[in-house]
């Protein structure tokens, strides 16, 4: 825009080439644009993640689990270790990619016109609400305008350049899980890269200047230098993820966002006035974590199963799958007193007792002396859902165990077959060696006997001539002249 104004204010076509270059240099901005930074961040995440997977599958994992000189397998002891490592690599890659995508999809965090028009302004704005002069909307408390997203974000924490979106109320949990998977994947890559470089080049190769010198003098492969630089980059990424995740958890426990922590806002640092809270630190730490990431069980579920996008209701996917089973269990409990009394209701009552004591301890209230039991209807409802989810998890666990055992048996059978073939070859080689020794001994005996009789019977020259004439006459007699 500045260049266009300069061209309008001056007679651009009458300027010399030198003057044009001079004006262009004076008006040029060397500061990268926000879009360029965002594209660089997104490209950096994808290039680094994909390169780790490619390196692992093509170079690092096959080398780490390669057979040693003696014929035995490397650190994995069998191909099972290589298979499990490849599955772990795929799991980390998919977890990182899915959480990155859920983090990038921040449409639910944007304040829309329907949100602004849905509030009643008869008695003035509700407490904490304000008017955004840029969006021309009334926004809820803790919402802030992002110039990059060009929208007001609910409980805005910061703008993440690596995803190209803001971290807010709905995707803050995905941001934390994304950092966890990025940290674990980078640490895994650092371990495999370090093991490979140590095995191929030695510990001295980790000195960058020495590695560059050995590459320039063609003492080592140039790909190893690239792998060394990626090793240090992955190390920096892992450390950065740990530091940033620690910062995120700290401000979450304090009930703040990054914006509020930087600005020094402490209005929402503690939850006050809620029933059951006694003002102790455990109370508001737990509630602040739940408000951002859900309950610990929900957060743990999302951490272990990163492929399913769930809102703050943790077990949505599992409950949908287990709902038919839960309904069948509920019907069986209503029709069978034994099933209801001894199978369905006890787990529900036990879980209710544990949950009440757990929440009281998290709030610093100690252990409950008497926990009121659930009603029969509530116990059947909760017990049916618990047993349904347990059945689904059990089936999935049994399938995984059986698949692992099948793969282990297959690998064991393959190794047993190879061992039998190897032992058979060894026995054949031993037999051939024995036969060779016997034949060598017989040849030596024949050679000694031949030398002995040759020295014993040694005719003179006259006898040799008579013997030769007799032999010729004998041959003529047999075959004819």
- The residue assigned the tokens 């109370």 is 283
DSSP state of 138: E
DSSP state of 297: H
Length in residues, the chain = 481
d(C-alpha 42, C-alpha 397), whole Å: 36
Token pair for 23: 């004006």
Q: CB-based burial of residue 474 (10 Å sphere; 0-12 exposed, 13-18 middle, 19+ buried)?
A: exposed
Q: Integer distance in angstroms from the first to the last C-alpha of the chain?
A: 122
Asked whether 238 and 187 are in contact (CB, 8 A), the reply is yes
d(C-alpha 222, C-alpha 148), whole Å: 40
Distance of CA 416 to the CA centre of its chain: 33
d(C-alpha 153, C-alpha 262), whole Å: 17
Q: What stretch of H or E contains 36?
A: helix 34-55
Count the neighbouring beta carbons within 10 Å of the beta carbon of residue 412.
Answer: 12
3-state DSSP assignment of residue 373: coil
Token pair for 481: 């002249």
Token pair for 259: 């914006």
Give which of 155, 85, 187 is closest to 312, Cα–Cα. Answer: 155
Asked whether 168 and 157 are in contact (CB, 8 A), the reply is yes
Q: How many CA atoms lie within 13 A of 109 on its CB side?
A: 33
DSSP state of 155: T
Give which of 107, 123, 259 is closest to 115, Cα–Cα. Answer: 107
β-sheet bridge partners, residue 138: 131
User: Which residues are CB-contacts of 450 (< 8 A; sequence separation ≥ 6)?
Assistant: none
Asked whether 45 and 160 are in contact (CB, 8 A), the reply is no
- Strand 158-160 and strand 165-167: the pairing is antiparallel
DSSP 237-255: HHHHHHHHHHHHHHHHHTT
Residues assigned a catalytic role: 160
């Amino acid at each position: 825009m500045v260049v266009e104004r300069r061209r309008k204010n001056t007679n651009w076509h009458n300027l010399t080439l030198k003057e044009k270059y001079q004006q262009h240099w004076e008006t040029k901005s060397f500061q990268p644009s926000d879009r360029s930074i965002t594209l660089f961040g997104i490209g950096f995440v994808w290039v680094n993640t994909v390169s780790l997977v490619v390196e692992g599958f093509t170079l690092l994992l096959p080398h780490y689990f390669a057979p040693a000189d003696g014929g035995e397998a490397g650190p994995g002891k069998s191909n099972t270790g290589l298979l499990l490592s490849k599955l772990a690599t795929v799991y980390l890659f998919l977890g990182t990619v899915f959480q990155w995508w859920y983090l990038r999809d921040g449409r639910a965090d944007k304040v829309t016109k329907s949100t602004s028009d849905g509030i009643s302004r008869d008695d003035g704005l509700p407490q904490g609400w304000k008017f955004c002069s840029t969006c021309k909307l009334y926004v809820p408390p803790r919402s802030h305008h992002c110039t990059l997203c060009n929208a007001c974000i609910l409980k805005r924490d910061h703008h993440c350049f690596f995803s190209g979106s803001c971290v807010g109320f709905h995707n803050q949990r995905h941001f934390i899980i994304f950092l966890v998977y990025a940290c674990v994947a980078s640490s895994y890559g650092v371990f495999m890269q370090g093991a490979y470089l140590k095995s191929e080049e030695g510990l001295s190769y980790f000195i960058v200047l020495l590695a560059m010198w050995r590459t320039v003098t063609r003492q080592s492969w140039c790909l190893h230098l690239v792998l060394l630089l990626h090793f240090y980059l992955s190390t920096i990424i892992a450390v950065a993820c740990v530091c940033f995740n620690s910062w995120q958890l700290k401000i979450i426990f304090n009930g703040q966002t990054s914006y509020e922590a930087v600005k020094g806002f402490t209005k929402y640092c503690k939850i006050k006035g809620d029933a059951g809270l006694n003002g102790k630190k455990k109370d508001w730490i737990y509630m602040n974590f739940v408000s951002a990431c859900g309950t610990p069980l929900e957060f743990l579920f999302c951490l272990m199963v990163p492929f399913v996008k769930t809102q703050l209701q943790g077990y949505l996917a599992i409950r949908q799958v287990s709902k038919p089973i839960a309904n069948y269990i509920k019907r069986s409990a209503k029709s069978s007193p034994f099933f209801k009394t001894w199978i369905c209701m006890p787990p529900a009552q036990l879980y209710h007792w544990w949950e009440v004591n757990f929440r009281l301890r998290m709030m610093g209230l100690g252990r409950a002396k008497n926990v009121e039991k659930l009603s029969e209807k509530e116990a059947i409802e909760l017990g049916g859902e618990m047993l349904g989810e347990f059945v689904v998890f059990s089936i999935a666990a049994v399938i995984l165990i059986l698949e692992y055992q099948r793969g282990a048996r297959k690998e064991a059978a393959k190794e047993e077959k190879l061992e039998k073939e190897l032992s058979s070859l060894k026995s054949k080689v031993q037999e051939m060696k024995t036969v060779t020794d016997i034949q060598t001994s017989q040849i030596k005996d024949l050679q000694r006997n031949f030398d002995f009789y040759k020295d014993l019977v040694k005719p003179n020259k006259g006898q040799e001539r008579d013997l030769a004439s007799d032999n010729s006459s004998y041959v003529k007699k047999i075959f004819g002249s």
